[in-house]
Amino acid sequence: MTSTLRRRLHHGDVGGKKNEHFDSLGSDDGLNEPLLGYQKYDDSDQVCTLEEVLDEGRRRERLHWTLLFSHLISQWAQWLANIVFVSGSLLGRIFPFASTQSGSTGTLLPPLLSPLQEARLKHLKQRLAIPFDGSSSDHQDALRQLWRLSYPDRPLPSLKSELWKEMGWQGSDPSTDFRGGGFISLENLIFFAKTYPESFRNLLHKRNGNRSEWEYPFAVAGINISFMLVQMFDLQSGTPSTLPGIRFLELLSEDDMAFDNIFCIAFEMLDAQWLAKRASYMEFNEVLKATRVQLERELALEDTSSVKDLPAYNLLRR
pLDDT digits (tens, 9 = 90+) for 240-268: 999 999 999 999 999 999 999 999 999 99
Q: Which pLDDT score is estimated for 46?
A: 43
Angstrom distance (rounded) from CA 189 to CA 226: 9
* Domain ranges for the chain: 1-39, 48-96, 111-315
Question: Average pLDDT for residues 52-81, to the nearest whole number?
Answer: 53
- In order of 195, 204, 275, the CA distances from 167 in angstroms are 18, 7, 19
Q: Which pLDDT score is estimated for 91?
A: 35
Question: Average pLDDT for residues 265-274, to the nearest whole number?
Answer: 98
Angstrom distance (rounded) from CA 110 to CA 170: 39
Does the pLDDT at position 237 exceed 70? yes
Q: Which pLDDT score is estimated for 111?
A: 86
**Mean pLDDT value across the chain:** 78
Question: Average pLDDT for residues 140-168, to the nearest whole number?
Answer: 98
Does the pLDDT at position 63 exceed 60? no
Angstrom distance (rounded) from CA 314 to CA 268: 10
The partner residues of 24 in beta bridges, in order of sequence, read 5
Does the pLDDT at position 145 exceed 80? yes
> C-alpha angle with apex 223: 240 to 110, nearest 5 degrees?
0
Across 30-39, 70-79, 99-108, 211-220, least confident range: 30-39
More confident residue, 174 or 26: 174
State the chain's maximal CA–CA distance in angstroms.
Answer: 159
Question: Other C-beta atoms within 10 Å of 21: how many?
Answer: 15
Q: Which pLDDT score is estimated for 60?
A: 56
- pLDDT-derived band at 11 (thresholds 50, 70, 90) equals very low
Across 74-78, 174-178, 295-299, least confident range: 74-78
Question: Average pLDDT for residues 53-80, to the nearest whole number?
Answer: 54
Does the pLDDT at position 24 exceed 80? no
Across 32-41, 79-88, 202-211, least confident range: 32-41
Q: Which pLDDT score is estimated for 12?
A: 37
Does the pLDDT at position 186 exceed 50? yes
Give the DSSP letter of residue 89.
H
Q: What percent of the chain has a predicted confidence (pLDDT) above 90?
A: 62
Q: Which pLDDT score is estimated for 43?
A: 41
Does the pLDDT at position 53 exceed 90? no
Give the DSSP letter of residue 144.
H
pLDDT tens-digit map of 172-181:
999 999 987 8
